Amino acid sequence: MTLRLDLPPDLAERLRQAAEKQGLSADGYTLHLLKEHLPPTDHRAELVALLQSWIDSSEGEEQADTDNDLLQALDEDRLSDRKLYPENLKGVTW
């Protein structure tokens, strides 16, 4: 995108001097300032979409079956008669 700005002479001179101190052209320094001061790109929406696609995938049911098998195996292998993962607490989190 091409952007044309009409700067007052004093501001144009300050920009030129600051760019020179940084070893950049006025255009390059202006781009640097814009990148530094504009709000960052919102990547959260992309991450939310990715997480939602994982939730919606059919592997969720497969994983739930695997989890249930693991919990059942852990309960069966206990030396105690008390279940580590009783049915009445299934799905309860603290």
For residue 21, pLDDT beyond 80: yes
Average pLDDT rounded to a whole number, residues 87-92: 75
Q: Would the pTM of this model clear 0.85, i.e. be above it?
A: no
Task: Looking at the structure, tell me whether residues 29 and 52 fall in a common domain.
Answer: no
Residue 59 confidence class, pLDDT cut points 50, 70, 90: low
Task: Looking at the structure, tell me whether residues 59 and 25 fall in a common domain.
Answer: no
- The residue range of the domain holding 30 is 7-38
Structural domains in the chain (count)? 2
For residue 78, pLDDT beyond 90: no
- DSSP designation for 90: T
Task: Looking at the structure, tell me whether residues 56 and 80 fall in a common domain.
Answer: yes
In a domain, 1, yes or no: no
In a domain, 2, yes or no: no
- pLDDT at position 33 is 95
Closest CA to 7 of 28, 21, 27: 27
Task: Looking at the structure, tell me whether residues 51 and 80 fall in a common domain.
Answer: yes
Rounded CA-CA distance 55/76 in Å is: 30
Read off the pLDDT of residues 26-56 as tens digits, 9 standing for 90 and up: 999 999 999 999 887 777 888 888 888 887 7
